[in-house]
Structure 1
């Protein structure tokens, strides 16, 4: 089929996004061939034709809509030179897509209304330039997580609660193509030999994907979105995640360069809290961040971001967090920030905290502050060293100053449940005391968890350290005066 047959040479004025070019008489026309050839491939280019889907088409017409979109998408991919598509202006590319689709609809003798045509163009643009059915979900500010359990099951999280939505994926191949598009952008791969991968989107959103044979029911994709509106400590206080007094204490702790461990379960807000705390770091200090998949969004100018690398197909070339921590120590850092401690790098992190890199921070998966310290012990043991447990606990007692525990409550809200101080060792036991804590009071009629977050009445031993650093805090901040939260 000749895609560009019967095109008119009538010059057209620029048109708004989503509208087809038209002649002076109002008839839809195609642009000149010279406007299109810049993205056409050479003859004999390989044809790529993944399926395309629709998220909003009426159920009675779903099959025909899928087929139409798939055919239009196949034709676009057949005619476009995808290797230079990123060099074409989006508005110009949209006009060219409009023209090609109009010609194909004419050849197929298909008539579409203006709204339907615009929807078709929008979804084809998402497929060509973006992540297809994921694009509207990524653009929705109310969605914090996108969970794809196979091509037919898509869930999103809004305000801490999960809900199922209509799947926008046509089949497993379509989902696999989107996953491959995500991971290839950051130089990673996913296939049967490496069936899972951690990656990130350009905006910093965290991505995890796993495919067959490990994913029995088909590819699974999890996206933890990062809000474009950065959450500061003031905003966390306004949302009720912690009290104003606790925010003042934490700000002073970061400025005074206390070492902080942020603990919590999956989706409890650990990375958000780490980003918020980092805003109090002096902008003149050199910060080195180390992550499996880069997602921290520090606001300082002097930041060096390091990211791990998985092994290649031959099992070589892996760069672990531990190797990066060791390298970071040679980079003259003022502070080291590890996105998440999950293995033997915990030992090197403790070493750094005990050898002059004060003010370092990291996160860890644990249900309580006490469990967080136990997990640190286990990670050091996993390293395979023969260090006695007393030496490990001594490192923890001397290196960690504060443990911030976060939890996702039953009503979906994320909040700090305790801020604990590590006070040292007694025998072989690491001692801790809660400075601030959340006390649950019950469940409201609307399902909201009721409770009070405030000081426990214990004055922290680190108060002298804060005062010496010029951040003396009034005693009222730590006075136990329970009130409404």
Structure 2
């Protein structure tokens, strides 16, 4: 039965006391096991005997109480539990044939791990109840097949980001708000081993000579890891989880990120092949908005996407995806976004979508927008629509061309049609706070006009922000072009008389 684990060590004979300790105890009483979360116990009588650790430092069986309350759950964060889990994991690695794991069915592997855990617990004379043993098996499976203590967080659909500051400090983001978890690693070596497990899967490594790593998990989640000597207090790990179900504009309306008239204009902008910049801060939802808007690209169009880490989830059949490659340990082999953008122009694209412009590739993106690739889109880090224009100007300057500022601004004004500003507000909610049209140039300045905005009105004591979306009353100058393509918008969409929602 255990052939895939090689020659197993014979387990020590289970002592009679351990073998029969739970035989006559009701199931309810067996729930509060060795690692259960307990309320403080009352002081014992003066003559009560207290189980003590064995002289050798091992754990001795403890008789279960005569009556136990409802099972409060396993305290997987206790030092004793973590030490036992690590010890069992190390013992199992000694007897397992790791090369056979990939060939086994998950349930078969779980059963064999369960048998090995039971044998090892008996060998060490550690008595646990069924719930605790099941928890041990789950945690050890996460260590072997997953990413250890953070594996449950990766499986939790409500978690969008996992932020490990030290081995004892793990935060997550849920619904836009950060909260500290009870998840811990045994020590920094345990955390570094999990990080190495992540990066080694993509042929990378992290050590003192290469202490910074960007990677992507098999499910598309983005990972950044930092170790000594850069990380002062221990290894750092940040994971931006990949959403398996892309959010649509309809869902964004439901959760209050925008309102129907704004969504109608976004749809018209994409169908009308206008060039779009989505601007916002870190975690504001730029990629989410880009994914949502991309749904309105025609299914017959050829789309080329370029990203540092593949996050876009385009649903069209004719999509060519490219991803940058970082340099190797010798600093060679890098393929940057600029190189991919230049190559994309030779691939006969109808549209080019760049996940995020961070540097000189902004120049090539403007060139693409200005040379027949209408309907192209990208995102930038900026706090307002006006800041987005300034940011693009700066990035064009990073391309290495000594261009006059006026020439750069003319390129920006002629290439970009619409800027969508998104923001993650202090209450954790992501909103589309502005939509502006780039109109042209007046003197030396790129001129814009705001079509929609979110007006913040009040904040509750719990931090919840209240406000309304408003139309400014300005009608976009590109409406006649949309109408010429057969795209009609309700004239009331731009009425400023009342809030839109």
State the TM bucket, normalised to the shorter chain: 0.7 to 0.9
Q: CA deviation at 1:481?
A: 2.8
The number of residue pairs the alignment matches comes to: 436
Secondary structure of the structure 1 residue equivalent to 2:148: coil
The residue number in structure 2 matching 1:393 is 409
1:290-329 matched pairs, under 5 angstroms: 290-329=306-345
- In 1, distance between residues paired with 2:88 and 2:486? 66
- In 1, distance between residues paired with 2:483 and 2:230? 54
Greater Cα radius of gyration, structure 1 or 2: 2
Secondary structure of the structure 2 residue equivalent to 1:301: coil
The residue number in structure 2 matching 1:177 is 193
- Please tell me whether residue 208 in structure 1 is matched to residue 224 in structure 2: yes
CA deviations on 1:405-445 (whole Å, 9 max, x unpaired) are: 01111211110110000011112211111011111112134
1:266-281 matched pairs, under 5 angstroms: 266-281=282-297
Secondary structure of the structure 1 residue equivalent to 2:374: coil
TM-score by length of structure 1 reads 0.86
Which deviates further from its counterpart, 101-110 or 257-266? Answer: 101-110
The residue number in structure 1 matching 2:8 is 3
- In 2, distance between residues paired with 1:81 and 1:393? 63
- In 1, distance between residues paired with 2:455 and 2:272? 28
2:141 to 113, 125, 133: 125
Q: CA deviation at 1:189?
A: 2.9
- In 2, distance between residues paired with 1:215 and 1:387? 39
Which deviates further from its counterpart, 137-146 or 75-84? Answer: 75-84
CA deviations on 1:358-387 (whole Å, 9 max, x unpaired) are: 111111100101001101000111122111
Q: CA deviation at 1:6?
A: 6.7
Which deviates further from its counterpart, 248-257 or 163-172? Answer: 163-172
- Please tell me whether residue 240 in structure 1 is matched to residue 256 in structure 2: yes
Secondary structure of the structure 2 residue equivalent to 1:133: helix
- In 1, distance between residues paired with 2:425 and 2:213? 29
- In 2, distance between residues paired with 1:445 and 1:129? 44
The residue number in structure 2 matching 1:156 is 172
Q: CA deviation at 1:201?
A: 2.0
Which deviates further from its counterpart, 244-253 or 101-110? Answer: 101-110
Q: CA deviation at 1:393?
A: 0.8
The residue number in structure 1 matching 2:425 is 409
- Provide closer, same or farther for how the CA distance between residues 184 and 255 of structure 1 changes in structure 2, counting only shifts above 3 A: farther
The residue number in structure 2 matching 1:260 is 276
The residue number in structure 2 matching 1:441 is 457
* Contact 1:57–1:65 (8 Å) recurs in 2: no
2:92 to 76, 84, 92: 76
1:98-109 matched pairs, under 5 angstroms: 98-109=114-125
- Please tell me whether residue 363 in structure 1 is matched to residue 376 in structure 2: no
Question: Runs (4+) of structure 1 moved beyond 6 Å?
Answer: none
- Provide closer, same or farther for how the CA distance between residues 189 and 321 of structure 1 changes in structure 2, counting only shifts above 3 A: farther
Q: CA deviation at 1:266?
A: 0.6
- In 1, distance between residues paired with 2:278 and 2:363? 16
- In 1, distance between residues paired with 2:462 and 2:316? 41
TM-score by length of structure 2 reads 0.84
Structure 2: runs of 5 or more not aligned: 1-6, 13-72
CA deviations on 1:12-39 (whole Å, 9 max, x unpaired) are: xxxxxxxxxxxxxxxxxxxxxxxxxxxx
- In 1, distance between residues paired with 2:11 and 2:217? 41
1:44-123 matched pairs, under 5 angstroms: 57-58=74-75, 62-123=78-139
- In 2, distance between residues paired with 1:468 and 1:213? 60
* Contact 1:264–1:367 (8 Å) recurs in 2: yes
CA deviations on 1:258-284 (whole Å, 9 max, x unpaired) are: 111000001111111111111111111
- In 1, distance between residues paired with 2:485 and 2:213? 43
The residue number in structure 2 matching 1:375 is 391
CA deviations on 1:439-459 (whole Å, 9 max, x unpaired) are: 111213442212111211100
Structure 1: runs of 5 or more not aligned: 8-55
* Contact 2:11–2:120 (8 Å) recurs in 1: no
* Contact 1:243–1:454 (8 Å) recurs in 2: no
- In 1, distance between residues paired with 2:427 and 2:167? 29
* Contact 1:3–1:103 (8 Å) recurs in 2: no
Secondary structure of the structure 1 residue equivalent to 2:230: coil
- In 1, distance between residues paired with 2:100 and 2:334? 31
Which deviates further from its counterpart, 191-200 or 338-347? Answer: 191-200
Q: CA deviation at 1:462?
A: 1.1
The residue number in structure 1 matching 2:353 is 337
1:469 to 478, 485, 492: 485
Q: CA deviation at 1:84?
A: 4.4
The residue number in structure 2 matching 1:217 is 233
* Contact 2:11–2:123 (8 Å) recurs in 1: no
Secondary structure of the structure 1 residue equivalent to 2:253: helix
The residue number in structure 1 matching 2:152 is 136
- Provide closer, same or farther for how the CA distance between residues 359 and 83 of structure 1 changes in structure 2, counting only shifts above 3 A: farther
